Structure formats: structure tokens, C-alpha cells
Amino acid sequence: MKRMVILFGSPHENGYTKKLTDLLIENLKTKFSVAYFNAYKRNIHPCVDCSVCKGTSQCAFTDILDLTADLAGCDVIVIASPIYNLSFPAPLKALFDRFQLYYNLHEKNEKWRNINKKETVVLLTSGRQANSYLDVINKQLNCILPYLNANITFEVIWDNTDNVTQMGESVVNEVKKIASLL
């Protein structure tokens, strides 16, 4: 069975981002074992640039060991998040900074460079119309995903949630299409 890790970044358990995530899961054709990581439910220690991972290939903090193990071996990463000030909410950003571990693994460890390739699905919501949001988000994700041997495969944004509180047909169709292609 293929393995999926969902990195969920909204504080709302039944908000717009959760609705997008649920739609994807409901429509998956392939069977996945799913590891769901809610960044708001974990007190993720911020990266302190202590350089321990540079020397030991391990993080000094042990709070997300379960996730790092799941991420290393998964086939699909789903990043589901609202846009906060053009970026990710702080708990998810803290998590992404901790991915410095993967940067150092990639630099130092040849075995790591050969880990399995991963697809990445990015599901976003924003209160206003998206405009340049994807550009900023993608630049950030492109700083971290390659070190997990991952790249953005599919991306959807449900924007303008301040005004449009029902998911539009085009977003529904995009998510269903992604689910069918995974």
C-alpha cells in the first residue's frame, strides 16, 4: 500500500482547509495508509540553528521523530494550509524550518540522496483573491522539498473565502482530478 503524509496547518478542525483535505481523501482511487500530522496540535520546537543535524544527521529535538520517520518513507506528501500573511501559519513554518535536518542529510549522506521519490500535493486556502500567493508559497516549498526528494506535483487554492464560503465547482473538480491521478 502506498503511504501518504498529510501536513495540516489550519487551527480550524472544520474550516476551509479541512474541507479541501477531506475532499481529496474521499476521492482517492489508490489505497493509501495515511499519517495525519496536525501542526497546531503539536508544540513544534522551532529550529535554533544549533548545527547538531549538520554533524550527527539527527535533530537535537525529539518532538517530531514520528513524523520524520513517516516522511522519509512516504510516497505522497500533502501540505494543506491556509495562507497567513503570504506564508504558512507559524506552527507549519516552525515545522518547515525543522526540515533543515533534510538539507544536512542531503548534503552529507549519499544514502539519503537516494531515498524514494515523492509526489507533493499542495492544498491552500486564502481569504482574499490569490494573486501572487502561489509564487511566494512555491518559492518557500522549493527551499525544502528537494531535500526530501519531493517536488510540487499538484496544487490547488480555494481563494476568496472571505466572500465565497462554498467550495466552487472548479476547485472541486481540480481536487477530484488530483485524487484520481495519485
Ligand X SMILES: Cc1cc2nc3c(=O)[nH]c(=O)nc-3n(C[C@H](O)[C@H](O)[C@H](O)COP(=O)(O)O)c2cc1C
Residue 102 contacts residue 134 (beta carbons within 8 Å):
no
> Rule CB under 6 A: which of 11-40 touch ligand X?
12, 15-17
At what angle are helices 16-26 and 169-181 packed, to 10 degrees?
40
Burial class for 74, CB neighbours closer than 10 Å (0-12, 13-18, 19+): buried
Cα(29)–Cα(8) distance, integer angstroms = 21
Check residue 69 for interaction with ligand X (CB under 6 A). no
Q: Which stretch binds ligand X (CB under 6 A): 49-57, 82-90, 141-149, 163-171?
A: 82-90
Q: Which of 29, 31, 43, 85 lies at the binding interface for ligand X (CB under 6 A)?
A: 85
Q: Smallest distance from the beta carbon of 171 to ligand X, in angstroms?
A: 12
CA distances from 6 to 11, 58, 61, 68, 91 (A): 15, 22, 21, 12, 14
State the nearest-atom distance from the C-beta of 82 to ligand X, in Å: 3
Work out whether 86 is an interface residue with ligand X (CB under 6 A).
yes
Rounded-to-integer distance, Cα 134 and Cα 144, Å: 16
> In this chain, which stretch among 35-43, 45-53, 79-87, 110-118 interacts with ligand X, using CB under 6 A?
79-87
Binder to ligand X among 100, 104, 120, 125 (CB under 6 A)?
125
Applying CB under 6 A, does 79 fall inside the site for ligand X?
no
Give residue 147's identity as a one-letter amino acid code.
Y
CB nearer to ligand X: pick between 10 and 104: 10
- In the numeric block, the cell 516552525 is attached to 94
Number of residues that bind ligand X (CB under 6 A): 15
Which residues contact ligand X (rule: CB under 6 A)? 10, 12, 15-17, 82-86, 125-128, 161
